[in-house]
Amino acid sequence: MRRICFLLKVKQDRLDEYKRRHAAVWPEMLDALRETGWRDYSLFLRPDGLLVGYFETDDLAAALAGMAATDVNSRWQAEMAPFFEGLDGQPDEGIVPLEEVFHLD
């Protein structure tokens, strides 16, 4: 199992709508994430738009490829693309894992 943490930047003027969208993630998107190996997935948002994402997976490359192959991911990413700074419409490609330097357990 590997813990993945990443950072993205949500546009300041889109914060409220971004939070609303994530209060009602499509059930088929949730199913696809689970089916492709994403576990304990969480997003944390700072008031300035810094987004911290965290999830666990056995195989990051397989989890990313599995989601990329789904129709629901393509639709979700297209809807979410306008919310982010500096990703040229590809939010899922912005997942660059941070180096883990400490874990309590």
pLDDT of amino acid 48: 97
Question: Domain 2-94 carries which CATH code?
Answer: 3.30.70.100
Exposed, middle or buried, 33 (CB in 10 Å: 0-12/13-18/19+)?
Answer: buried
Q: Do the beta carbons of residue 31 and residue 70 sit within 8 Å?
A: no
> If pLDDT is split at 50, 70 and 90, which confidence band does 86 have?
confident
pLDDT digits (tens, 9 = 90+) for 14-73: 999 999 999 999 999 999 999 999 999 999 999 999 999 999 999 999 999 999 999 999
Active site residues: 22
Count of helices and strands (H, E) across the chain = 4, 3
